[in-house]
Every structure is written in structure tokens, then in C-alpha cells.
Structure 1
């Protein structure tokens, strides 16, 4: 609360803690934090003043983390020369925490800097919330500070640490150790994560020399559904309502919500056969996004033909080859952007299978020597042609690096460039994990996972690590 400047909450909680902070004191600091720092050394080192120091530092950091860092460095140097320190250990640690969190909020504008890792390291104690631990680990991953990666993950709650994401990064950290025992542990952790086929599972497979094989999960073969299970789908009130709404003039949103509820009920009842039968029926009628949703929201069902369909295959392959890009990557983008809903439209105006913004469509049409037409740009065939051309265009502008180009497709090429390392190259998984926008960070992971699966389905299998490669320095 002190860091965020939540005045009312600070007053209420400080009172309950037995160290009430008056509104007047907070208001005075809000107006002029510098004046507080000037007199801080002349006042008693009370618990209330410790709180007020952090509040003042937080207000300075809101405007400039750099100015706040200079202030803290000055105060600590002065404090170290005194017989009795004014800043206790807890205050010092949390002051550094304020700097670390603020620094991570400015990565896109100011670039990444290892000082964030150092500030978090100086703030180490047992009281990290998830936001703070995640900021710490992202900074440590970015700069290959593997001991700090271990420290940061240890500050997360036990269940969070068990996720594939953090098990993978813990293994990455142990892999760098000079201790043979830890390197052996890393290998065992990779083998466990590799049982999954998500983004981290695919990365882990590469680490232990395994290969993702779509044929083991059915490949392009649709699952066989019995007549009894097909009948059960329409006897189920939730799925029956979903299909009725889909076939009516009602908003697609109503049908989607009913479908999602039907999938949840079937999943809770562990009725995988019902889910597969419903997903197959949705697939057969072209309701691909709900077929994908059904398979993605089960723990034990694997059917790549349903979860990773390949509509418009001839167009996707033809236009991808014309644009000089991998068709598997094009499918990876398309699946993430629209789930193959031709009429998809985002709240910012992106449209079609490839979710192209009107301004981008005009740019593409101009470079292709065509007149712009909104209806044509949003149509299936033209939208695929425009989207694959734009992917090739971004790829060429971003070092022919697919991870950079994927980030650029979502957040714009300029942001993707800003996130590149200043000096030297960076492993692509480290680049992705430290992308400053959470939406883009997750988007790139999903697209790379999708593309790896599609490459196997298309008979052009490429391991995810090879696909992602290395991110070069910006220039």
C-alpha cells in the first residue's frame, strides 16, 4: 500500500497495526516528498517514520525510479556513517523492492537493465507477493542470473512453483550449475516436463533429445465417434442448447457461452467420450473454434485433428510459400488470432482469420498494388493472402527471426525491436519470457507451440528450439 500510495488503506491498516499514520503526514509528503527526506535524518527512527520513508520513496519512484534510486543510495551512504542507523533492515529491503518493481514497469520505454536484478537481490526476504517474484525472475532470466532465478522461484507459493513454466526455468538455472548433482536434477526435471505438449513441454523435449510426433496423437485423423455417443450429444441439454443457438439467428456469443458451460459439465463428470463426440460434431459443421475449445479444456483428451484443424490448407500453403514464410507458422498465427472464425472481429477493429487492422490492410494493399476494399480484405482468401504477406514483411524487417516477427505481429515491430538485447545475442526462450507486455508474452508462446505442432502435422517437423533460434542484438 505504501508503494502504491493507497492513502485510505494505509491509514486504516496502520491504525490496526498500532502505528497510526495521519492523513496530514501523507498529504504533506504527497505534495513535497523531498522536504520529508531533508528532515528525515533529524527525526527519531520510529516505526511510523519507517513507513513514511517508504511512502515518500514510492511517490518519487512514481515519477522517476532513477531519482528514487539516487535518493536511496544517498540515504544509505549517510546512514552508514551514523552511529545509529535511521533505516532499519526491513525498510532498506523494501525500499529496494520499490525500485525493482518500478524498474520492471519501464522495460519497454527505457530498455532492460540488470540493475533491476540487483535491486531485487538487495530486497531479499520471505515476503514476496507473486507480482514481485515474477518481476524478479523475469529480470533474472533476461540477464542469465541463474542463482537469482532460483531465489525468485523460491519466493512463489508451492503450487505455482510446480507449474511447467517455473519448473522449466528452475531446470534451466540448475543446468548452468557447476554442481553435477544439480545438472542431473535439471535433466530429470526436463524429462518430467517433456511429458506435456505445451510450450514448456516442447522446449523440455528438445533438452532431452525427444521429438514431438503428431502421429502419436492421431495426426490428421479425426477420432471415430460411435452412434451412441453422437446421440448422447443431442440428448445432453447443454450441448443441445449450444447447437440450437448456433443454428439460429442468435448472437454467436450466446452459443459459445452455452458450449463452454456444456464442456465444463462434461469435464467435471469426466465424460471424455461426450466431449470428443461433441467436438467432432462441431468440427463437422465448421464450428472449429468450439471444437478447439473443447479439446483444449480437457486434461486427458488428445486429438490434434480437432484441436489443430487446418482449414483453407491449399490457400495457406500457397500464400505462405509466395510470402517466403513457413505455413506452419501461418497456421500458428491464425489459430491464435481467430481460432479460424472467418467473421472474427476484435474490439480494436482487427478482422478476419488473420485479424488484420484496417490501417495494416491498407498498407498491404498499397504494397501489393491493389485498391483497398474492407469487405475484400476481411474475406477468407484475401485475408489469408494479406496476413501471410504481412508476416513475411515483418519477418524481413526483424532479422528474419520468427520470435521477433511473432511479437511484432501482435505488439508492432517497433516494440519487438525495443525488447531485443542491446549487446550480444539472447536465447529466444529468454527473450520471450522477458517480453514486457503479458498479452504479447503469452501470445508468442502459444504461436510457437502451435507452429511446432502444425509443422509435424504438415510433415515438415521442426523442433521448437530450432524454430525459435537466437535473438540478435538490436541495431
Structure 2
């Protein structure tokens, strides 16, 4: 006798945060699979994760950098988001999703190829837009990075970053998030 396995085996941890992931993905026109991949890579779905930097929560928001960008966008002024605020899952998913939105639609808005823009935004989520710009163009100028990226294929942008980003951690991060995004796209089919 044989049994059909369910079409997906999304973890209970991922399912717990799926409603807020879907809300923020719809709000910012982001792929929910991307948000799950970032959460998985950043915190392994631990809402109380804290890094030495320090970064907090599911999407590992750094209050002094991404957090100020996010609060400036959401509340009109750069506030220091508290750990208590960022340890609340919905707040954290909103903050992380907002930051991805800012990276793709503000910092890297002039990059015409969506895939290139996505790769650069994922890397910037980990290391900051200036480091990504410098890897792509040799300058921290976002304008120079856009010009350089627009002269390359998405595969070339990805390969350049995998080989040349200054931190091995960011090279690994980009590869993991891209791979996990594909995994979660498969898992979310039919959900």
C-alpha cells in the first residue's frame, strides 16, 4: 500500500509567521518566499534571536542602521527601535519587510533588471548598500553601482558578488537566501 505525501511540508515555525509574512509581502509587493528565506537565514525562526552586533528578532534588525531607515519611512522620523519592540514577531516582520522594500525601491531603484536588484538587495540586507555598491562598481556611490549593474546580466551581478563581496558571511548569506527562496516558493504552492 502507498500513501500520497502532502504537497508541501512547510515547517510549523514558518507557518506560525505566514499570516504576517503574507500581509507584508502584499503591502510591499514582495515574494513571501523571500521573506521566509530571510527569516530562516537570519534567525532560524527564533523571534528572540539576538546577534552580537546587536540585531534583534526574526529578521535581525539592527536598530542603529536598518531600524532608523525603517522608522523614518514608517513614522517620518529616525527612531531607535527597542529590542522589546523588535522581539515582537509582527513588528519585526514589518520592519524587515520594510527594509527589503527600501533596498529594492529606494537604494537600488535605478537597477533595471529585477533579478539583479533582488540579488543586490539581499546582499545589502546583510552588509549594507554601500558595501554592495562598492563590490559592483568600486565605489560606494549607488548611482555608480546602478550604472555598472545595468551593464551586466543578473547572472554576472550574482557571480561578481559571490566572488567579491568583502565578507565571506555575506557571500554565504546571498547564496543561502537565494536557495531558500526557491525552496519556499515550492513549499508555498497551493497554500
Counterparts of residues 235-384 of structure 1 (less than 5 Å): 305-306=10-11, 309-359=14-64, 360-369=66-75, 372-374=80-82, 375-384=84-93
**1:80-106 per-position Cα deviation (integer Å, ceiling 9, x unaligned):** xxxxxxxxxxxxxxxxxxxxxxxxxxx
The 3 A distance-change label for structure 1 pair 409 and 372 is same
Runs of 4 or more consecutive aligned structure 1 residues displaced over 6 Å after TM superposition: none
Paired positions, count: 162
Q: Given the alignment of the two structures, is residue 408 of structure 1 paired with residue 124 of structure 2, yes or no?
A: yes
**1:108-157 per-position Cα deviation (integer Å, ceiling 9, x unaligned):** xxxxxxxxxxxxxxxxxxxxxxxxxxxxxxxxxxxxxxxxxxxxxxxxxx
Unpaired runs of at least 5, structure 1: 1-215, 222-304, 461-475
* 1:418 Cα deviation from its structure 2 partner: 1.5
RMSD, aligned α-carbons: 2.5
* 1:314 Cα deviation from its structure 2 partner: 0.9
The 3 A distance-change label for structure 1 pair 343 and 308 is closer
Q: Which residue of 1 aligns with 2:168?
A: 438
Greater RCO (CA < 8 Å, at least 6 residues apart): 2
C-alpha contact 2:25 2:31 (8 A) present in aligned 1: yes
C-alpha contact 2:8 2:189 (8 A) present in aligned 1: no
The 3 A distance-change label for structure 1 pair 380 and 416 is same
The 3 A distance-change label for structure 1 pair 355 and 217 is farther
TM-score normalized with structure 1 length: 0.32
C-alpha contact 2:163 2:171 (8 A) present in aligned 1: yes
Q: Which residue of 2 aligns with 1:395?
A: 104
C-alpha contact 2:162 2:174 (8 A) present in aligned 1: no
Q: Give the Cα–Cα distance (whole angstroms) in 2 for the partners of residues 338 and 217 of structure 1.
A: 28
Q: Give the Cα–Cα distance (whole angstroms) in 2 for the partners of residues 330 and 458 of structure 1.
A: 12
The 3 A distance-change label for structure 1 pair 369 and 309 is closer
* 1:217 Cα deviation from its structure 2 partner: 8.1
Unpaired runs of at least 5, structure 2: 138-147
C-alpha contact 1:432 1:445 (8 A) present in aligned 2: no
* 1:445 Cα deviation from its structure 2 partner: 0.3
